[in-house]
């Protein structure tokens, strides 16, 4: 992986891939944060247009209470521990809670056609409750359905794009 200074000097974009149950935060305008295969999982981007700090979180499950040990080791795996971890990391880079633009994608109903478990729906409901409790508003979202999505956040522009399975091109979910 090229050093951040090299990427900044050359003007080349540097793609950072965020895996399941992980997150990344940066203030490097040459970075594009990307996560793949958002089925029932939820992708959350935050971006502060003033400080140009952004982050991407790939959440798998709604509640850490099902595995408290794992939530300490890997907080981004769960909605209730991943969102606070993402915001804390962004605050360290000078993001401001009241300026962040929030986008959400995923939460599809996959594998469970009977709607008994519907992890995607539960993930979204848990996430929406946390945002409401903290007075945060989602600027753009594409959730539900039965498709898988790839989510990208361009830290140079704040633009959020999605690549939806079965669709030929990326779509813009949010643009400053």
Q: What is the pLDDT of residues 122-163, one digit of tens each?
A: 999 999 999 999 999 999 999 999 999 999 999 999 999 999
Characterise 41 by phi-psi region: left (phi > 0), alpha (psi -120 to 50), beta (else).
beta
Fold of 13-174: 60s Ribosomal Protein L30; Chain: A; (3.30.1330)
The 3-state secondary structure of 81-139, one letter per residue: HHHHHHHHHHHHCCCCCCCCEEEEEECCCCCCCCCCCCHHHHHHHHHHHHHHHCCCCEE
- Considering the chain, what percentage of its residues have pLDDT values greater than 90? 85
- pTM equals 0.90
pLDDT at 5: 39
pLDDT at 118: 83
pLDDT at 115: 54
pLDDT at 7: 42
pLDDT at 112: 55
The list of the chain residues with pLDDT below 70 reads 1-11, 111-117
pLDDT at 176: 84
pLDDT at 40: 94
């Amino acid at each position: 992986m090229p050093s951040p200074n090299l990427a900044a000097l050359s003007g080349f974009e540097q793609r950072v891939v965020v895996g399941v149950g992980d997150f990344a935060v940066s203030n490097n305008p040459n970075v594009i944060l990307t996560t793949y295969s958002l089925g029932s999982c939820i992708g959350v981007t935050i971006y502060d247009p003033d400080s140009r700090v952004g982050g991407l979180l790939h959440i798998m499950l709604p509640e850490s209470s099902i595995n408290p040990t794992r939530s300490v080791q890997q907080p981004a795996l769960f909605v209730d521990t991943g969102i606070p971890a993402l915001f804390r990391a962004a605050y360290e880079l000078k993001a401001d809670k009241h300026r962040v633009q929030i986008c959400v994608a995923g939460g599809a109903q996959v594998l469970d056609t009977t709607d008994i478990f519907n992890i995607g729906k539960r993930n979204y409901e848990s996430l929406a409750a946390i945002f409401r409790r903290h007075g945060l508003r989602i600027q753009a979202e594409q959730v539900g359905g039965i498709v898988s999505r790839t989510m990208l956040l361009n830290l140079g522009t704040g633009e959020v794009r999605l690549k939806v399975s079965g669709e030929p091109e990326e779509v813009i979910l949010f643009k400053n």
